[in-house]
A = this chain, B = another copy of it.
């Protein structure tokens, strides 16, 4: 019998052109700390200027922290927090992709909590203290893929310990998230593909590991998987198509975020995250893609019902002789259609001689017991060997 556990308190304003509504929306404070990346992309695209104008019309003051790094660091969070304190900001605003938003979330925690950020990380060398409060967070998303705009997590890298760890607190569910697919039309092709697959895996991994226990998760994740399978090939061939962008943003930012908020991803994501930690030029989505075929060939027969359902959601038919394999077939087709079926991990700096370290980190340091497969070190070694190109 299914149950439902849900708590998704973020107010979402989603749709083409809706960034404009920022000028009249009720915001959770008087002065925002805007977090943006150091690459000046928000300046170049003219988005920062628009957001500044809209905040002025709104009558809300702001300060800009413009040094966020691609994998947001503890040092950045601390620097941003100091700026927010100095300027008297009473909420944070993540503008951009996952790194800007997660910096805004980390900063919102530090503004409200005592001690060091790492006291509140719940894995690795983290202090596992409960983070019960945070300043309000607002997000304006310009990419497609992370789900952080609708969930209670942030991922921060500690450069002292080389850890990239999760923080979780219901206090960092954004108060308000504006998701405007028009802002995503200039995303480069490869990033669109990587983020699209990240979104697919967020939804699909949560669907499988949850195993129909939480009915709301089924509803969100199933529609997420269906939508990515349908629109990802389309958004790649017609990058400016707003219908396709809108559907991808819905699947990635809302459904992916909801799915993760209600359950968690699997060791596929742990392995991908570990690869990203070792090779900082290896984009997260690309790392997930690189190991996907071997990984799902290994696990699909362990939970055949769920994997066959996923395959069907993606338009594939199940085959009684190969239980669970419908998902593998659907996935391989989508990888091929989007031109990343032959993605080479060696081109992103991965070396075979690091495999032992990667597996050790995946299994022993981060912990893979989050899912229902319970893969061993030997399993992961086999997955990496088979994925090697």
Contacts and interface: CB of A to CB of B under 8 A. Distances in A.
A8 B8 contact: yes
B14 A1 contact: no
Interface residues of A, number: 28
Nearest to A16: B1
Contact of A1 (B4, B13, B219, B246): B246
A167 to B, nearest CB: 20
A3 interface: yes
A223 interface: yes
A182 to B, nearest CB: 10
A6 B15 contact: no
Contact of A4 (B2, B3, B14): B14
A8 B8 CA distance: 7
Nearest to A181: B1
Which interface residue of A3, A11, A219 has the most chain B CB atoms within 10 A?
A3
Interface in A355-381: none
A28 B58 CA distance: 32
A9 B12 contact: no
A6 B176 CA distance: 10
A90 B4 CA distance: 27
Contact of A12 (B1, B6, B13, B220): B6
Contacts of A8: 8-9
A128 interface: no
A279 interface: no
Nearest to A170: B11
Contacts of A13: 4-5
A57 to B, nearest CB: 21
Contacts of A2: 15, 246, 250
A298 interface: no
Interface string A2-32: 1111111111111110100000000000000
A133 interface: no
A12 B179 CA distance: 25
17 contacts: A1-B16, A1-B242, A1-B243, A1-B246, A3-B14, A3-B18, A4-B179, A4-B250, A6-B11, A7-B9, A7-B10, A8-B8, A9-B9, A215-B250, A216-B254, A219-B220, A219-B223
Given A2-B15, A4-B12, A4-B14, 20 more contacts: A1-B15, A1-B242, A1-B246, A4-B13, A4-B15, A4-B250, A5-B12, A5-B13, A6-B12, A7-B9, A7-B10, A7-B12, A8-B8, A8-B9, A9-B9, A14-B215, A215-B250, A216-B254, A219-B219, A219-B220
